Amino acid sequence: MKIGILSKRTTMMTGKIKEFFENKGHIVSIYTMENLVINESLFNNDFYILKSKSLFFIYAGYYLKANNIPVIPDPHISFKQKNRIESHSLLKSIGFLTPDIYLGTSETFRDRLQLEDFPLILKPIMGSGSRGVRIIESFEDLNNGNNKILYLEKYVEGIHYTVYFIDDNICTLVKAPLSNEHTDMEKIKTPNDIKLLIKKWKKYFDGKVLFGHLDIVREHISNKLYIVDPGSFPEFTNWKCENSPVEEICNLILKLVKEDHNR
């Protein structure tokens, strides 16, 4: 088969996926910002892997889906995880606990927020992971001097987890608060309530979500689990469980493509 990969880079997980499929006899093309043009030329491939959640690549995924070219993961689901407002709404609709959020300008926050609302987390509206994320301790930290809309999230004190899943395999890691996927993490045995949470997440998408990760905080006071960030296609840098994540993911993708083709 001819496979396209929509990705910001050609290395890391993307490069490993390309190597895996080529070793299986498939023809693989990687589309980055340097060579991606959203037009009929993309129809030459049998299906696409949406590795990046950057908007340009998601738009390419929408275009391909509209023209009946399979895209994995589904670009609509990826967008809902990329846009933090959409993500918050999605998590609430499934029934998960999420931190309270606040949207407004720095000036409106001065009128509406109370001292007891701090600390807060400032996050880019479009984004995932820890890039552009910082703690807001006071009103002074919000003084950005313009009317830009800010997305703030209540900071949850507790144990921070990154939880990877690939099919039924779950790898749970404890990490430092606000750290990114590539920092060192400690693998732990997956608690039962986290297993149930991952199962509920996957069930909601009815087989369309094969792998991904959830950043979760277990609140110290209540012991409840709060989802603070979902991810549709992480690098799996800290995958410390059995089997190769690349091999597992690629085989799942091939299986889904073949099942869709036979329907």
Closest CA to 256 of 173, 166, 126: 166
DSSP state of 256: H
> Per residue in 173-189, pLDDT tens?
999 998 989 999 999 99
Contact 31, 60 (CB under 8 A): yes
Burial of 219 (0-12, 13-18, 19+ CB in 10 A): middle
Question: Which CATH number, 3.40.50.20, 1.10.3720.10, 3.40.640.10, 3.40.50.2300, labels domain 2-72?
Answer: 3.40.50.20
> Residue 145's pLDDT is what?
60
User: pLDDT per residue over 202-243, tens digit each?
Assistant: 999 998 999 999 999 999 999 999 999 999 999 999 999 988
Residue 108: what pLDDT? 87
E strand segments, 73-224:
101-104, 120-123, 134-136, 150-154, 158-166, 169-175, 186-188, 211-219
CA distance 117 to 100: 10
pLDDT digits (tens, 9 = 90+) for 70-104: 999 999 999 999 999 999 999 999 999 999 999 99
**What CATH number was assigned to the domain covering residues 81-97+157-243?**
3.30.470.20
Q: What is the pTM of this model?
A: 0.94
Locate the domains of the chain by residue range: 2-72, 81-97+157-243, 101-154
Q: Higher model confidence: residue 108 or residue 21?
A: 21
CA separation for the pair 14, 118 (Å, rounded): 39
**Tens digits of per-residue pLDDT, 20-56?**
999 999 999 999 999 999 999 999 999 999 999 899 9
Residue 128 pLDDT grade (very low, low, confident, very high; cuts 50, 70, 90): low
- Residue 122's pLDDT band, with cuts at 50, 70 and 90, is very high
User: Percentage helix, strand, coil, to 5, in the chain?
Assistant: 35, 25, 40
Residues near 63 by beta carbon (within 8 Å), at least 6 away in sequence: 38, 42
